[in-house]
Amino acid sequence: MKKHSFLFIVLFVGILVGCSKETEITPIHNYFSSWNPCQSLTALQTYVEDVTNPSSPNFIPVDDRIATFDMDGTFIGELYPSYFEYNLLEYRVLDDTAYRDSAPEDVREAAQQIRDFVRNGTPLPAHFDMIHALAAAKAYAGMTLAEFDAYVKDYAARPANGFTGMTYAQSFYKPILEVFDYLKANGFTIYVVSGSDRFICRALVQSLGIEPSHVIGMDVKLRSRDQGTVAGVNYTMQQAEDIIRTDELIIKNLKANKVFQIAQEIGKIPVLSFGNSGGDVAMHNYCLSNDLKCAAFMLIADDDQRDHANRDKALALGEQWRDAGYHVISMRDDFKTIYGYNVIKVPFTF
């Protein structure tokens, strides 16, 4: 009896040790290793657990689990020292020797306004988002889609201004990438809905595995290389022809335009919406109009130690977003890391 008891104890302890080792080797997946415990994360997890529970009255079928994300300042860096697409236009017009001498005067003026803003703090003119959009349409006109994609990626491979340890192409917010993984694992479909050029967005998010068809942004009119002035409805494109960008702006995808584009391209009202600025408010409000259970999140750039941010402005916006019924994500308080622990904020260089 004693011998049998001893063997049982040895086997039982062995099982416990084995379980312990197995637990260490294959832990339960933690999607949120870059987050601190916080209200915004709890709100997201509580929401997802509720709407994915078939027994919940708030259950949402997989086909209706649509999540829309703004890009700049929501899951990728926004200030280095300005938007990526602003920096790209400044480089294209003022520094790229293959183009700068042929830039139209209004395009050169817009690029110089960006340079004066980032280097001297000169305020940008009113409605500069449209000024930039019109200038950018002209600056890249004539490029094939493949040439433009390569041009964006080549610039994105440069070190991100204002940081060490990452390129522009790597400047994603790690905690939000974890949200992507979490939502995908729970049957959500993610769309990027940005004010930036659609093809810039596609080039930047390709590494994240986001389908090009799930990217909505600013658009310019396209045409076939040999099409000339013939209307597309009257022109038959040949197999060997490239598609090229024109200088004709179709839409700047901000504010209400985001809603209209979502309605046209997705065809469903999102149930989750993520943004960081007033340009995303209309998208959030559209989401919150959904009859299904829904939620909207605003990220505020209140971390002036690890990122280039105006903390006072961000905190004021945070109160505004809470009053509007949005969940507020604090970069300073909620993120253990922003870009990764090896990335350090440094002064901008010019």
The amino acid that residue 215 corresponds to is V
Report the alpha-carbon distance of residue 327 to residue 42 in Å, rounded.
10
Q: 312 and 287 in contact (C-beta within 8 Å)?
A: no
Report the alpha-carbon distance of residue 106 to residue 274 in Å, rounded.
34
Per-residue pLDDT of 87-124, as tens digits, reads: 999 999 999 999 999 999 999 999 999 999 999 999 99
Per-residue pLDDT of 116-137, as tens digits, reads: 999 999 999 999 999 999 999 9
Question: Which domains can be identified in the chain, with CATH numbers?
Answer: 39-80+163-217+251-344 (3.40.50.1000), 84-156 (no CATH)
Per-residue pLDDT of 331-349, as tens digits, reads: 999 999 999 999 999 999 9
The amino acid that residue 58 corresponds to is N
Mean local confidence (pLDDT), 290-306: 98
* 249 DSSP β-pair partners: 220
Report the alpha-carbon distance of residue 254 to residue 251 in Å, rounded.
9
CB atoms within 10 A of CB 33: 11
Q: 184 and 190 in contact (C-beta within 8 Å)?
A: yes
Mean local confidence (pLDDT), 230-249: 96
Report the alpha-carbon distance of residue 143 to residue 166 in Å, rounded.
28
Q: Where are the beta strands (DSSP E) in the chain?
A: 66-69, 163-164, 189-197, 215-224, 243-251, 272-275, 295-300, 327-330, 344-345
Mean local confidence (pLDDT), 74-81: 96
Q: What is the pTM of this model?
A: 0.91
Tokens of 166: 């990452």
